[in-house]
Amino acid sequence: MRIAAISRGHRYSPNHIENDALILKLTIENLEKQGFTIDLFGEDEINLDLLKDYQLIFSMIRSRYALDILKTLEKKGITIINNTTGVSNCYRARTAEILPANGIPFPKSVVVNCNKNLPEISLPSINGSFKVWIKRGDVHAIHREDVTLVYSQDELAGTVREYNRRGIKEAVIQEQIEGDVVKFYAVRNSGFFHWYYHPGSRKLPFEDKELSNIAARCAEILDVDVYGGDAVIDIHGNIWIIDLNDWPSFAPIRDTASKHISELIEKKILSPVN
């Protein structure tokens, strides 16, 4: 079987270029130890002719260009990990619509067209003041302004106009949930799940098994195998998912994570129908 790996374009790895490269490198090395031969390509160099003869591709791509190529190959029967549906569903605008519609605890959010006049946003205020997040609606943050906490309707409208000037079509405007941010990493159906409090957190208590279960439900709903995300723990111990990422860097636990990822890929190689 011909197997290809595709690394993430550097613009989609702000401050994480090396970490993203390392998790892919370790995954490839684990598979090579099992006797598989892997050809590695960069996200920006791929095309249909280059990949058409591979039977399985595992990929960290984020761009619509690369996603369209993999969608075409998937339709021809090539196995893709993460599959293109999962990657598309992890675009923020899609996540903000799909997860709450399926019962996942998710902050109240509004998806807006950046090319149109911004409607008056009515989200719950914090202590009587305007305080909401605005996030680009497609890939995860590339620039600092791609995830921004704003404090007025005017500031919000200005950020949306700036997104439009940068060619960003949609934005997610999201309620601010006060609490601790928790980051988590997982590989679907593997038993592997790792989480930690974001630095500076008060370490509000919560049920970590509940977080694991909610994250697993998110993976099933979005149809993504290799994933991570962010949650907020409020003062009552409630868990709110605020982001779900396809194939993060797994930096704090990459050695263990890469073994589970490579085992997942190996299962797909040996049993492609599963």
Q: Which domains does the chain have, with CATH numbers?
A: 3-82+253-270 (3.40.50.11950), 108-175 (3.30.1490), 180-246 (no CATH)
Q: Is the peptide bond before 30 cis (omega within 30 degrees of 0)?
A: no
143 with 14: CB under 8 angstroms? yes
Sign of the four-CA dihedral 180, 186, 189, 192: negative
pLDDT at 144 over 80: no
CB 269 within 8 A of CB 1: yes
Angle between helices 208-222 and 92-101 (to 10 degrees): 110
| pLDDT band per the 50, 70, 90 thresholds, residue 210 | very high
What pLDDT, on the 0 to 100 scale, is given for residue 141? 63
Residue predicted with more confidence, 159 or 119: 159
Say what percent of the chain tops pLDDT 90.
Answer: 75
Assess contact for 78 and 88: CB atoms under 8 A.
Answer: no
What does the pLDDT read at residue 243?
Answer: 94
Contacts with 43 (C-beta within 8 Å, 6 or more apart), sequence order: 6, 7, 8, 9, 12, 59, 60, 61, 62, 63, 66
- Alpha-carbon torsion (253, 145, 138, 60), positive or negative: negative
Dist CA 89 CA 68 (whole Å)? 14
Parallel/antiparallel/unpaired status of strands 193-197 and 180-187: antiparallel
187/166 Cα distance (integer angstroms): 34
